[in-house]
């Protein structure tokens, strides 16, 4: 897998930066998820994306941590409780997927069922 290959060859802190380098291009958005906002591999991935001119978005907890420094937009859940932060990230992720599906379908429908 790409994750283990990158970790073995470049170190775990570089796994996401290397994937961003290999897989992303103009117009892409890089999303980083870190409950603390300070996971070194996520921070480096967002940093590399930012330096490459890509749009960046971070899902974090508390104050955004280091991820917020390299994110164009940050969803920082204001809770010290890991489970609450991750539950909010899950809901936000599902909403983003719903919005993407609507955009790709070219419809003006709204999200329902919440």
Structure tokens at 98: 């719903």
Nearest 10 degrees: CA dihedral of 93, 64, 51, 18?
-60
Looking at residues 32-56, what average pLDDT do you find?
A: 98
- Give the pLDDT confidence of 53-105 residue by residue, as tens digits: 999 999 999 999 999 999 999 999 999 999 999 999 999 999 999 999 999 98
Q: Write the DSSP assignment of 22-48 as a string of letters.
A: HH--TT-EEEEEESSS--HHHHHHHHH
Task: Give the span between the Cα atoms of 78 and 14, in whole angstroms.
Answer: 28
Domains and CATH numbers, the chain: 2-105 (3.40.50.10490)
């Amino acid at each position: 897998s790409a994750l283990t290959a990158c970790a073995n060859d470049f170190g775990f802190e570089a796994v996401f930066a290397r994937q961003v380098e290999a897989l992303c291009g103009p117009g892409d958005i890089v999303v980083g998820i870190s409950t603390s906002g300070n996971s070194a591999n996520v921070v480096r991935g967002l940093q590399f994306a930012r330096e490459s001119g890509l749009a960046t978005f971070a899902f974090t907890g508390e104050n955004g941590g280091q991820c917020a420094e390299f994110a164009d937009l940050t969803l920082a859940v204001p809770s010290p409780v890991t489970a609450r932060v991750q539950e909010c990230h899950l809901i936000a992720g599902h909403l983003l997927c719903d919005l993407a599906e609507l955009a790709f379908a070219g419809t003006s429908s709204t999200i329902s069922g919440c």
